[in-house]
Structure 1
């Protein structure tokens, strides 16, 4: 669907897929949001605190994802799209600022900012798309966001029902996207109407995941800087760095760089894969966030025993690995055995060290992740050795 949209908005089907400067600038709001979320989870690492952090993360992720999907269709240099991205960025910053007290006195700030982002996007795009088929698509999405917005605002006003109503709102929004936003009299979007620039969205996923890893390193560095810089804190900081490197490698290899090509190969139906990849990236980022909180606890108090640290320290990598396995299966059908074994290994290791100091638990988790990386690399290493042996064989015969 190439062509010129009303108001000078250009579809980006011919674009090589590079993210614009403004899109990267928009991601800064997500960095701030992740730091606030990690602080909220650190303050309350209980099951209830984890559930509340997950609700806030899911809302913030949905803002990022829908904005990235929308930006994929239009020229980011168009004044209207610049306004849209800045509007969303400011709303995201308001949501992030409210995170530490979202379930206390600032629930309404979080909810209204969230609803205003989605309805503001519709208010910007729908008039500009007048006469174009994409206008109906945007209208369907806007109607459903207006309906779910009621749940958000009522949930903010009614404290006892807040978690339930917000969870229902998110479940509604995430499900409707998979169902292509059906609505009476407006029908539902077709997959071609939702088709994306595969390389652009794939690159955006990688960028936002790197930002999540950056938050882990940032929080680890700040916590270590505020510590006494003794031996145990230094070792904990080193484990945080090793963990971040392992997570980055496990994300990128083997299927991390092939997502865009697979979406392109699927054609219009590749939108399904893009959407499912978005859901799985939410789970992976949740895993990285939990890992970040666990590492912060370990660096700050390496010799202490903390059940909360053990819980988030195990759940985080396990969530990441599970979602990463599912993504690999979707992209190329692979079932990496090392990762499949790694998930229960991390859980068992966490249970075995539940009464040990936090430093021991972090070392076990980092060790399992490193082993997975090594086992993942072994087939490629063996192929490299075989190729090197073959290339050296003629020289050995000449000199023998």
Structure 2
């Protein structure tokens, strides 16, 4: 792979199964309509994120639209699609058919194993990379064992074992990756892959907005909710793509091999998860607003918690990404995080449109302030 390699159309095709998967997770949390359901949804989202991130790293080794890598990613697409199909039954198996939780865990294990097998084949001749792939097998298999055990037991034990599996897999792989044998051959490619996944999450947020409005009669309140929902998505896009990603991409490109590896594993591999999770939770809250746009009653704690908590998590993710990628904290973003989190009780009591409008105003003001404050930096980075 050359250092100027860019994302291929096959990888964009590969990402489409994750669009469906994110939609399934959002629907799972909406159906559960509880804090436990949201926690379980976040765990499912973590599994999806870790599997996608693994293939983003794999795409740095060779062109994804050619030969062995295309075949491997094609198999992984099928596995992820099965995971997505099993999401509604992730904790409660439906009568008839196969056991849903076990299907989900087994399909996820298949996706992770395909990744390591293909990585191992592509790594032939590179001693450090082969060693890194070998070191990655034990936590993957141990984590898969916990997933399968949790799926077999079910209930609260399943939640605990799924959490332990994710912590084990993420923790060991991250610890061995920061100074390990992985290599980032093309920094622009790597950054672009993660930026495109944020676009996928934002697209899913608009899909959730449409799903919430699909079966409702067109009314002024519905149109207002739709406009506010699009405004929220636009603000989330602005806060991520306007400046920080451009600076981070340049930093990744200029870093030496070891520093680039640590930056990729930290700022992108781990630091992007709260960004993506924040978008999905915000979308869940927006869907609740749209579904009750004409109601004069309060939005309620579930939708308000998802809306405000999701926006706060997103801002927290941006703070973490900025700290890991460019070694700065965003004071404006920290203030906005506190404000949007503090808005939760008011959002729960206020009518849905007012609750969403408050979050949109906070995000829009933050975007406007940062655009003004960092005007010179924005110009310099783009130039």
1:384–1:256: structure 2 CA closer, same or farther, 3 Å change rule? closer
- Structure 1: distance between partners of 2:126 and 2:199: 36
Shift in Å at residue 294 of structure 1? 0.9
- Structure 2: distance between partners of 1:281 and 1:130: 30
Which residue in 2 is equivalent to 1:352? 346
Which residue in 1 is equivalent to 2:137? 142
* 2:160 is the alignment partner of 1:164: yes
SS of the aligned residue for 1:335 comes to: coil
Which residue in 2 is equivalent to 1:236? 225
Q: Are the aligned partners of 1:118 and 1:142 in contact in 2 as well (CA < 8 Å)?
A: no
Shift in Å at residue 146 of structure 1? 1.8
SS of the aligned residue for 2:176 comes to: coil
Q: Are the aligned partners of 2:86 and 2:101 in contact in 1 as well (CA < 8 Å)?
A: yes
1:118-197 equivalences in 2 (<5 Å): 118-127=112-121, 129-133=123-127, 134-160=129-155, 161-180=157-176, 190-191=179-180, 193-197=182-186
Structure 2 runs not aligned, ≥5 long:
94-99
Compute the RMSD of aligned alpha carbons.
2.1
Equivalent residue for 1:26, pick from 14, 17, 21: 14
> Normalising by the residue count of structure 2, what TM-score does the alignment of the two structures yield?
0.90
Deviates more, 1:121-130 or 1:263-272: 121-130
Which residue in 2 is equivalent to 1:201? 190
Which residue in 2 is equivalent to 1:100? 88
Equivalent residue for 1:91, pick from 79, 89, 94: 79
- Structure 2: distance between partners of 1:73 and 1:237: 42
- Structure 2: distance between partners of 1:268 and 1:344: 37
Shift in Å at residue 343 of structure 1? 0.6
Q: Are the aligned partners of 2:278 and 2:314 in contact in 1 as well (CA < 8 Å)?
A: yes
Which residue in 2 is equivalent to 1:325? 319
Equivalent residue for 1:290, pick from 268, 281, 284: 281
* 2:294 is the alignment partner of 1:275: no
Deviates more, 1:281-290 or 1:137-146: 137-146
Q: Are the aligned partners of 2:179 and 2:262 in contact in 1 as well (CA < 8 Å)?
A: no
- Structure 1: distance between partners of 2:38 and 2:222: 25
- Structure 2: distance between partners of 1:370 and 1:122: 42
- Structure 2: distance between partners of 1:383 and 1:15: 26
Q: Are the aligned partners of 2:251 and 2:325 in contact in 1 as well (CA < 8 Å)?
A: yes
Shift in Å at residue 125 of structure 1? 4.1
Deviates more, 1:114-123 or 1:104-113: 114-123
Q: Are the aligned partners of 2:139 and 2:173 in contact in 1 as well (CA < 8 Å)?
A: no
1:334–1:179: structure 2 CA closer, same or farther, 3 Å change rule? closer
Which residue in 2 is equivalent to 1:251? 240
* 2:55 is the alignment partner of 1:67: yes
**1:335-377 C-alpha deviation (Å, 9 max, x unpaired):** 3322111011112222233211122111111111111011111
Structure 1 runs not aligned, ≥5 long:
1-11, 182-188, 386-400
1:297–1:193: structure 2 CA closer, same or farther, 3 Å change rule? closer
Q: Are the aligned partners of 1:55 and 1:166 in contact in 2 as well (CA < 8 Å)?
A: yes
Aligned length: 366
SS of the aligned residue for 1:256 comes to: helix
Q: Are the aligned partners of 1:350 and 1:364 in contact in 2 as well (CA < 8 Å)?
A: no
Q: Are the aligned partners of 1:178 and 1:272 in contact in 2 as well (CA < 8 Å)?
A: no
**1:68-88 C-alpha deviation (Å, 9 max, x unpaired):** 111111222431101111111
Which residue in 1 is equivalent to 2:39? 51
Q: Are the aligned partners of 2:289 and 2:303 in contact in 1 as well (CA < 8 Å)?
A: yes
Shift in Å at residue 249 of structure 1? 0.2
- Structure 1: distance between partners of 2:251 and 2:226: 37
**1:319-342 C-alpha deviation (Å, 9 max, x unpaired):** 000110121222323333221110
Structure possessing the higher radius of gyration over alpha carbons: 1
1:85–1:358: structure 2 CA closer, same or farther, 3 Å change rule? same
- Structure 2: distance between partners of 1:82 and 1:25: 11
- Structure 2: distance between partners of 1:159 and 1:191: 36
1:216–1:22: structure 2 CA closer, same or farther, 3 Å change rule? same
* 2:310 is the alignment partner of 1:316: yes
- Structure 1: distance between partners of 2:358 and 2:174: 38
